[in-house]
Chains A and B, each alone.
Chain A
Amino acid sequence: MTRVVDLQVSSRRTLNQALHDLPDQTNETHWTVRNPGGQHALAVGIDAPITVTIEGHAGYYCAGMNKHARIEIHGNAGVGVAENMMSGRVHVRGDASQAAGATAHGGLLIIDGNASARCGISMKGVRIVVKGSIGPMSAFMAQSGTLVALGDAGDALGDSIYEAHIYVRGRTGTLGADCCEKPMRAEHHAELRALLDEAGVDEDTRYFRRYGSARQLYNFHVDNAY
């Protein structure tokens, strides 16, 4: 059953509350949000295996804290789309603003357009596939998970990165502190292939370069461990 919520008529709080109130095994598994108008905090905190389609542009923190849901944004997303996502899948059909997928622990974030600065900042396990380019300072302090850009990467890529994997097909600007290029071994081709397939991207993995941590910063030295 599809529920339609028109945000020119209903409030954002009404929408989010209805999504939070869904019981386990709900039959209301398809939701369509009309006239989002770039409002902030749409479809946040969902904890149910439902599908939400947002028909237009979303503002800040759309699909934040998502668990289990598939959320599709037919437009651009503002700052912090899918921030702190735990699981599920968020698909932005347009561009994403800064800090897409910030601190997210799991799930899959797909961005058809470009993502701007700090994409995947402090990511903790999320997988992010950006079909366009990613902005400066992407994967800043990224802890685990995978960030893929089919386009270019801006300056200071992967600054202070821990164990996350970065794959870039296009050009990269400067690399951030302690970020370095690493060889693409068989397991990396396999990891990237599986992720591209899941994101519906038909692209040969041999065109990608891999970046990760050189593990030279202070916290990587065992003598500095507590």
Chain B
Amino acid sequence: MCGIVGLFLKSPALAPQLGSHLAGMLDVMTDRGPDSAGFAIYGEPCAGMTKMTLRGSDMAGLPGALSAALGETVLATPRDTHMVLSLPTALEPRARAWLAEHRPDVAITGAGARIELYKEVGRPADIARRFNLAGMAGTHAIGHTRMATESAVTTAGAHPFSTGPDQCLVHNGSLSNHRSLRRRLEPQGIAFSTDNDSEVAAGYLTWRLSEGATLAEALQSSLEDLDGFFTFVVGTETGFAVLRDPIACKPAVMAETDDYVAFGSEYRALAGLPHIATARVFEPEPARVYAWTHAP
């Protein structure tokens, strides 16, 4: 069992409260996933810049050393065990190479123009507090509370998984063909950092998107290629999508108003959202792709 929450804003007026709403939703889903939690939040982009979220320890000297190596000042925002670096997009490959060589202990949890991605082991409310999720603003965000079934309770096994720029996926369920799918994806250049089945689903979508599919098309084809139980919520730089397996094994409820689209594994995760009493509340149908996009 796991808990998923997601919030995609249609109204920019709610942007300053995105993090506080998501934090409340995550806390409610503790019963479904007390082991670990994580969230991806999409903020405003800065032209020509890439954000890289790092997870590790002893990172105080990292920005200075990386700046010296790149010959460019890298801005760093530390948040508990994570740190968000902001650097010119053109320098991202060199930054990755430097990190791989000099700080192999540090994991890159996500990177892109807008995405920041945080995950930790522990109670969801504690994790939200440690990263000050309530203080974060943005356009859309996806969170997950994990009760591990298929792999160990580790930070690396926590969701969301990000396998491509500005992409993230959270999953409730289990996949049965992830090993064979992984063997198909690795030769296509999709790299995985865990043995987790959900990361393979994320990698599959990354591969389809890199082949030119839209997010909705990528999810549609996943119905053919993925075997197992799943409710997915997926984020991209401007998009937000939901898909359930063909027998809708795992729970899902959504609410839509003029101001937002919200996802929860259970209704009570949505109960604190503004104007929820008048929202259109519905359960997504099995095997049907639901997708929303912001103008880029």
**A interface residues (Cβ-Cβ under 8 A, vs B):** 37-39, 57, 59-60, 76, 78-79, 94-95, 97-98, 114, 116-117, 135-137, 154
Among A37, A97, A116, the residue within 8 A (CB) of B271 is A37
What per-residue 1/0 map shows which CB atoms of B169-185 lie under 8 Å from chain A?
00000000000000000
A-B contact count (CB 8 A): 42
B interface majority secondary structure: loop
Which B13-59 residues sit within 8 Å CB-CB of chain A?
none
Residues in chain A near residue B253, CB distance under 8 A: 97
**Interface presence of B92 (CB below 8 A):** no
Instruction: Evaluate contact between B281 and A38: CB separation under 8 angstroms.
Output: no
Q: How far does the Cβ of B30 sit from chain A's closest Cβ, in whole Å?
A: 13
Given contacts A95-B281, A135-B285, are A57 and B251 in contact (CB under 8 A)?
A: no
Q: How far does the Cβ of B284 sit from chain A's closest Cβ, in whole Å?
A: 9
Residues in chain B near residue A59, CB distance under 8 A: 266-268
Instruction: Evaluate contact between B251 and A136: CB separation under 8 angstroms.
Output: no
A/B interface sample: 21 pairs, CB < 8 A: A38-B266, A38-B267, A38-B268, A57-B268, A59-B267, A76-B281, A78-B266, A79-B251, A95-B282, A97-B267, A97-B283, A98-B251, A98-B283, A117-B248, A117-B283, A117-B286, A135-B285, A136-B248, A136-B286, A137-B247, A154-B285
What per-residue 1/0 map shows which CB atoms of B266-282 lie under 8 Å from chain A?
11100100000000011
Which B209-265 residues sit within 8 Å CB-CB of chain A?
247-248, 251, 253
Residues in chain A near residue B268, CB distance under 8 A: 37-39, 57, 59, 78
Residues in chain B near residue A79, CB distance under 8 A: 251
Residues in chain A near residue B266, CB distance under 8 A: 38, 59-60, 78
Residues in chain A near residue B286, CB distance under 8 A: 117, 136
Residues in chain A near residue B247, CB distance under 8 A: 137
Residues in chain B near residue A154, CB distance under 8 A: 285
Q: How far does the Cβ of B84 sit from chain A's closest Cβ, in whole Å?
A: 34
Instruction: Evaluate contact between B285 and A38: CB separation under 8 angstroms.
Output: no
Residues in chain A near residue B251, CB distance under 8 A: 79, 97-98
CA distance A77 to B18 in the complex (A): 27
CA distance A94 to B276 in the complex (A): 13
CA distance A95 to B282 in the complex (A): 8
CA distance A136 to B285 in the complex (A): 8
Known: A37-B268, A59-B267. 6 other contacts (CB 8 A): A38-B267, A57-B268, A76-B267, A98-B251, A114-B282, A135-B283
Residues in chain A near residue B282, CB distance under 8 A: 95, 114
CA distance A57 to B271 in the complex (A): 9
Residues in chain B near residue A94, CB distance under 8 A: 281
Q: How far does the Cβ of B4 sit from chain A's closest Cβ, in whole Å?
A: 15
Of all chain B residues, which has the CB nearest A96?
B283
